[in-house]
Amino acid sequence: MKKGGILNPALAKLLAETGHTDYLVVTDAGLPLPENVNTRIDFALKPNVPRFLELLDTVLEELVVEEIILAEEIKAVSPEMHAEILKRFPKISIKYMSHVQFKETTKQARGFIRSGEFTPFANIILVAGCAY
């Protein structure tokens, strides 16, 4: 038995297989997931369980991130969530795009990690960095 770290085998595998510049998407409960993506890890149990930020923080413990992509709408619709996300990336490049463009961009993702979050636009594309 593993004594710590990420215990979910699918999530551990996805993170281990992610390479430099790959996209990983951490989502709220409502973001549509493209059918062509092979890896979909759905943690949603009920509204707001688990929370988006809890899941994001868990992923960030093991993933090097060089850039993030957010929907422009998060600034106006969910400013508290936006602020919490920005706290986690003080020195990382941030790119904004319309939610429509964001959904289109997710089609390039290596995998999706879905939370139970009910906060609008609580979605992020993590662009994997390199550890060396």
Q: 42 a known binding residue?
A: no
Q: 131 a known binding residue?
A: no
Q: 16 a known binding residue?
A: no
**Alpha carbon of 116 to those of 12, 50, 128, 130: distances in Å?**
19, 5, 23, 29
Q: 121 a known binding residue?
A: yes
Q: How far apart are the first and last CA of the chain?
A: 29
Q: 118 a known binding residue?
A: no
Cβ contacts of 63 within 8 Å, gap of 6 or more: 15, 18, 24, 126, 128
Q: Indicate which residues carry an active-site annotation.
A: 20
Residue 82 to residue 78: CA distance in whole angstroms: 6
**Annotated binding-site positions for substrate:** 28, 99, 121-123
Residues marked as binding?
Answer: 28, 99, 121-123
